Amino acid sequence: MSDDEDAPPVKRAVIFYGSLEEKERERLAKGEFGSLGKDAIKAAIESGNINIAGGDTFDIEEHISEHQAEVLAEFERRKRARQINVSTDDAEVRACLRALGEPVTLFGEGPAERRERLRNILSVVGPDALKKSKKDDEKSKKSREECQTTWYHEGPESLRAARFWIAQYSLPRALTRLEEERQYKAIPEASRTAQKQDLHKRLRSLNNFCSQIGDDRPISFCQFSPNSKLLVTASWTGLCKLWAVPDCNYIRTLRGHCTNVGAIVFHPQSTISLDEKDVNLASCAADGSVKLWNLESDEPVADIEGHGMRVARVAWHPSGRFLGTTCYDHSWRLWDLEVQEEILHQEGHSKGVYDIAFHPDGSLTGTGGLDAFGRVWDLRTGRCIMFLEGHLKEIYGVSFSPNGYHMATGSGDNTCKVWDIRQRRCVYTIPAHQNLVSGVKFQPSSGMYLLTTAYDNTAKVWTHPGWSPVKTLAGHEGKVMGVDISLDGQLIATCSYDRTFKLWMAE
């Protein structure tokens, strides 16, 4: 048995080192490799006496330098922490932690530990972070005050005449609505409860009745005609299409927009008493264009000009005489189609205005903005009578209940809020969806339920009052972008980012 083959690695190392001079051995042990040491190590590696698997190396000096840098940084941080003065007032310490976005208190933490935690946080982010946070708070407070400020401008003489006309139109309708409410209240409680239970039972049986591919790009809006026999859809291709329901038979394509269409809505008397040659539809698009359509041609009959930025939504006044538009220039506008002019250019939001809805009586209008605030305007006086504050993100949907005093708003904070105009406050917050709420809609005839749609690919039905969930309408493969309920209450339509619209009907 030879020594070269069976000698253990330790003995090989001893034999190798024994061939070196004493000084070189000392330098090698200290890591100081001279020319002889380098040559010897190279020769040892080539002969296999020193094995480095795969050529992997570990730089000890670099590792030590990184560790030293970390220790030095921690030393400097502690030095800065000792120089930072923190208030002894625990309430102020809590306020500072809240301003920095940190937990106000931790489990088992006392005032002394809380002060020390604040000091350590400031030593990392710097004392200027607290000053910047306070400036941001002041800025947001100032912005909030600006949001609550309403700008009023002197309008044309036609606006004054329109306000008188709206007052004369809305007051009789309000009297009729109140009389209907009294008659409904006179019905025995048991009968009303049984009626609601029957409705909820029917809503729980809602199913997907029809699904239709509407265009090559997402469908952004849909609405039923007043006679509940037509459905119009708007698409990001710039096209609007008419469909016969409930069979979903294609009728006509309305061509005129060159970019994303935000909404297309029927005139309140369309398909009922309005001639097909008259203006039956209004639409808006992202390029600021607003177009009017009849039911005979596939081209617009008129354009409404004056918007310099994106128009998100359009809505008809219940009388059909006025058209409301919302614009990303922080304003909404009212157009009198009889005199063919803009009679009101109303500011009041600090960001773009997204949605608009008119009160069933025609006396009020509600607007929701990208500033997370909503407003209720009295069209007879021009004043903002209610400021809707509570949403954390943009408001994308506004709807009035037929009862005249409830209003719903849907927001990017995934919630739907119900407001009482009589009390001028939010009466209920519905944690409706797991994503942005894109639309809200009260049942148009009696308002006994509320529909919400969201970017979580679903629409949901909620009782009114009570706001308990009744049914989830699931079936779309993309974000649900719009919803509508037919006036006869038989059909619900939803349109989606998946390029389809679906009809829902109770069994």
Question: Which pLDDT score is estimated for 1?
Answer: 47
Higher pLDDT, 453 or 130: 453
Pairing mode, strands 458-463 and 384-388: unpaired
DSSP code at position 138? H
Cα three-residue angle 229-234-235, rounded to 5 degrees: 140
Question: What burial class does residue 271 get, using C-beta atoms within 10 Å of its C-beta: 0-12 exposed, 13-18 middle, 19+ buried?
Answer: middle
Three-state DSSP at 410 gives strand
Q: What is the pLDDT of residues 213-235, one digit of tens each?
A: 999 999 999 999 999 999 999 99
pLDDT of the residue at 55 = 53
Confidence class for position 20, pLDDT limits 50, 70, 90:
very low
| Average pLDDT over all residues of the chain | 85
Amino acid, single-letter form, for residue 147 = C
Q: If you average pLDDT over residues 141-166, what whole number do you get?
A: 73
- Confirm whether pTM is higher than 0.75: no
Query: Residue by residue, what is the 3-state secondary structure of 15-54?
Result: HHHHCCCHHHHHHHHHCCCCHHHHHHHHHHHHHCCCCCHH
Instruction: Name the more confident of 11 and 23.
Output: 23
Instruction: Kindly tell me if the per-residue pLDDT of 315 is higher than 60.
Output: yes
Q: How far is the C-alpha of 104 from the C-alpha of 117, rounded, in Å?
A: 10
Check residues 479 and 104 and name the one with the higher pLDDT: 479
pLDDT of residue 17: 42
pLDDT at 96: 85
Helix crossing, 111-125 with 128-147: angle to 10°?
Answer: 90
What's the pLDDT score for residue 13?
43
CB 481 within 8 A of CB 214: no
Q: Using one digit for the tens of pLDDT, what is the confidence trace for 27-68?
A: 555 555 555 556 776 777 677 666 655 555 555 666 667 777
What are the residue ranges of CATH 2.130.10.10 in the chain?
Answer: 180-506
pLDDT 10s digits, 272-305: 999 999 999 999 999 999 999 999 999 999 999 9
Greatest mean pLDDT among 116-125, 141-150, 433-442 lies in 433-442
Architecture of domain 180-506: 7 Propeller (2.130)
d(CA 327, CA 334): 11
Rg of the Cα atoms in the chain: 35
Strand partners of residue 429 = 417
Decide if 176 contacts 198 (C-beta within 8 A).
Answer: no
| C-alpha torsion 332→338→340→343, nearest 10 | -40
CA distances (Å), 251 to each of 254, 299, 302, 343, 409, in order?
10, 14, 21, 35, 33
Tokens of 73: 């940084």
Residue 151 has pLDDT above 70, yes or no: no
Dist. CA 331–CA 346, nearest whole Å: 5
